[in-house]
């Protein structure tokens, strides 16, 4: 059963006030959602400075597009989508080659789906910043934001097979990083299972 998510009473008050250009309401919205949205921006950016620039530009769009929010879903989810789109816009403008990472062809992509449950979210978030930009972008959109490969292909102007290939490679690199960290912490003599985890 699908449940419709509606804004809270407080959110509805903020939305109405923001539509009228109320600066105090805009500040309250910013203070409420900025910490979480900065976390979203950081996952796409290379550093804190870039993430903050994405965040600011994203909120400018949030406030200028309030009329487009139709109270038909989560307000926070709507803000989050704007932040993700702003992050992609930033990457296109500042890293024009961000999807030109050396790719592997998606000839083994059928094995990748089985790897999804082997990584904990905290581990992924900890090492995700080390991924090449193209891999990181596709991984964020697919594994965290929940977009399909078809949607990602449309958003990034790539083929579905390229999206799948980048996701596969991103998972492999993430697993290698996690295994490396675990090896440092694990007492000698315990098998890390690297052969099983790094298969893609």
| Whether residues 118 and 88 fall in one domain | no
- The model's pLDDT over 45-64, given as tens digits with 9 standing for 90+, comes to 988 999 999 999 999 999 99
End-of-domain residue from the set 62, 94, 126: 94
| Whether residues 86 and 133 fall in one domain | no
CATH number, domain at 83? 1.10.1740.10
| Whether residues 79 and 121 fall in one domain | no
| Whether residues 141 and 71 fall in one domain | no
Contact 171, 179 (CB under 8 A): no
- The model's pLDDT over 67-83, given as tens digits with 9 standing for 90+, comes to 999 877 789 999 999 99
Q: How many Cα atoms within 13 Å fall on the side-chain side of residue 116?
A: 12
Contact 99, 156 (CB under 8 A): yes
- The model's pLDDT over 129-150, given as tens digits with 9 standing for 90+, comes to 888 888 999 999 999 899 999 9
| Whether residues 116 and 140 fall in one domain | yes
CATH number, domain at 160? 1.10.10
The predicted pLDDT at position 102 comes to 42
| Whether residues 119 and 78 fall in one domain | no
The predicted pLDDT at position 186 comes to 62
Residue 175 domain flag: yes
End-of-domain residue from the set 60, 94, 128: 94
Residue 67 domain flag: yes
Give the domain range for residue 183: 109-197
Residue 34 domain flag: yes
Residue 171 has pLDDT above 80, yes or no: yes
Residue 2 domain flag: no
| Whether residues 76 and 121 fall in one domain | no
Query: pLDDT-derived band of residue 108, with 50, 70 and 90 as boundaries?
Result: very low
Burial class (CB in 10 A: 0-12, 13-18, 19+), 90: buried
Residue 4 domain flag: no
| Whether residues 191 and 113 fall in one domain | yes
Nearest-10 Cα torsion for 165, 171, 174, 175: -130
The predicted pLDDT at position 138 comes to 93
The predicted pLDDT at position 115 comes to 46
Residue 100 domain flag: no
End-of-domain residue from the set 94, 125, 160: 94
Total domains present in the chain: 2
Contact 144, 102 (CB under 8 A): no
| Whether residues 131 and 57 fall in one domain | no
């Amino acid at each position: 059963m699908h449940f419709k998510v509606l804004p809270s009473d407080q959110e509805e008050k903020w939305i109405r006030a923001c539509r009228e250009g109320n600066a105090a309401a805009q500040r309250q919205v910013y203070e409420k959602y900025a910490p979480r949205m900065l976390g979203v921006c950081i996952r796409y950016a290379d550093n804190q400075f870039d993430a903050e620039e994405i965040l600011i530009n994203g909120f400018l769009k949030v406030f200028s597009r309030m009329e487009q929010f139709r109270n038909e879903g989560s307000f926070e989810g709507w803000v989050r989508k704007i932040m993700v789109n702003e992050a992609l816009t930033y990457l296109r403008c500042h890293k024009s080659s961000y999807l030109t990472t050396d790719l592997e062809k998606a000839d083994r992509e059928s094995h990748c789906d089985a790897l999804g449950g082997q990584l904990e979210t905290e581990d992924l978030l900890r090492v995700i910043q080390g991924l090449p930009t193209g891999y990181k972008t596709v991984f964020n959109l697919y594994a965290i934001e929940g977009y399909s490969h078809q949607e990602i292909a449309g958003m990034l102007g790539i083929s579905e097979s390229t999206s799948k290939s980048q996701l596969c490679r991103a998972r492999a690199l993430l697993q290698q990083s996690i295994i490396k960290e675990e090896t440092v912490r694990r007492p000698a003599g315990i098998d890390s299972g690297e052969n099983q985890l790094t298969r893609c």
